[in-house]
Amino acid sequence: MKFLARRKKIVVCEISGYPPDRGSGSETCVRILRVLQAGGLFGDIHVLAQCENSPKTITDGRLIVHRIWRKGSLRSLARVVKELATLRPDIVSFRHGYFFFGGAFFTALFTIVCLGAARVFGSKVCTTMAPVFLPDAITERFMRNRALKGPMKLQRVGLVVTTRLIALLSHRVITVTKEEAVILDQYYARVPKACVIGEGMDESPVIDRIAAKRSLGYSDREKLFMYFGFIEPNKNIETLLKAMAKVRTTRANCKLMIAGGLTPRLEETGRAYLQQLRDIAQQLSIGKDTCISGRYVSEDSLPAYFSACDILVLPYLQQLSFSGVYRRAVGYSKVVIASDAEFFRHEIKPGVNGILFRAGDSHDLAAKMIQLLDDEALYARIEYNVREMARSLSWEQVGKQVQDLFHAGVHHVTSP
């Protein structure tokens, strides 16, 4: 392979978010890069990452982080192209999400320009896409919850054009689920491009549940349900509040904690939604039994929150791709009740590694919450299976799959 022979060691360039930034693939990026560093198969690994103020470069051994782009900035896009021209890496690994680099339109522009530049400079391009979905998933509710403006038809056309261009410009596309790979290959790429590499799970540090509950102000006799994640309308938290009110009529020792902050790009909508949730809790007479903080939970505080909760509830109306919160829950061996939205339907086997309820149905959710409270054997079985699942899906395994794909140079796919 000529492109592998150019250098002793392959130079990889990752275009993604990078800690301490949240989102834009940063959490996944740092875990995989740690495995690539430890593997020793690559030379320098460059990360073109988001910056807050002036651009800067940070070097850590063979990992070089160039903080050069800002969301929605054409100037920083030019800096990324210039850096690619300077580096001319063997492999460009790009992480694409609907809003990773700004609004939907700018993210599409940023992605296509970067991938096109990488191809011009002779790099092999591997794009990780999450989520991959069909145009009819863009509904009025989808647009309203994500503050998208303009005609819905235009958003759908933009999705099709962007996804097909990504498939055309990439030598391989990594998807998180098999279902996404099928959508990509059959609807967008028309030729085999997709490689399924799932998200890894962290076996996270667990604190004694009683001690964790007390640290958050709860009694060890109380059963604690928790929602964790960004607070925004498409998370459908109001259904959980209604279900909790029903549960409280027969289970007075139950409490609910809504943990998480507002999505940065939807702060105005989020603040209104947060107040709406507090009003609903008061109207349902569960205000005293429900904590809705609206504050971001730091990494240092995560063990206390996840260790304290007995059951995690994810009531989303829509979940098109992998859920980062679900990944964390598995790492903490949490029993999860989730809606039967797209991703959860494929990932959770009811009664085995979680429980599903009909999305938007507070009666069904309440019934499932009570079922887990009453059936100790079911709860223990799910908890055990989730713990085993976390052990089998380590980030080291995921990183090695990416490493093998990069080392092969994606040469087995014919360039478009």
CB atoms within 10 A of CB 335: 21
Q: Is the dihedral of CA 131, 137, 138, 141 positive or negative?
A: negative
C-alpha 227/C-alpha 34 separation (Å) is 30
Q: Which helix (H) or strand (E) holds 307?
A: helix 302-308
pLDDT at 21: 64
At 352-399, the pLDDT tens digits run 999 999 999 999 999 999 999 999 999 999 999 998 888 777 888 888
Torsion of CA 65, 68, 71, 76, to 10 degrees: -150
Q: Which residue has the higher pLDDT, 114 or 62?
A: 114
Beta strands in 161-241 (DSSP E): 172-175, 194-196, 223-228
| pLDDT cut 90: percent of the chain above it | 53
- Say yes or no to pLDDT of 127 above 50: yes
Q: Are 111 and 101 in contact (CB under 8 A)?
A: yes
Q: Are 131 and 175 in contact (CB under 8 A)?
A: no
Residues 306-335, mean pLDDT to the nearest whole number: 89
Q: Both tokens of residue 173?
A: 């596309």
Angle at alpha carbon of residue 47, lines to 44 and 53, rounded to 5°: 135
C-alpha 17/C-alpha 20 separation (Å) is 9
Tell me the pTM: 0.76
C-alpha 164/C-alpha 183 separation (Å) is 11
CB atoms within 10 A of CB 206: 15
Domains in the chain, ordered, with CATH? Answer: 2-200+395-407 (3.40.50.2000), 209-392 (3.40.50.2000)
At 8-32, the pLDDT tens digits run 457 889 998 777 666 557 778 888 8
- Say yes or no to pLDDT of 297 above 70: yes
pLDDT at 317: 87
Q: What is the β-pairing status of strands 172-175 and 194-196? A: parallel
C-alpha 280/C-alpha 290 separation (Å) is 11
pLDDT at 23: 58
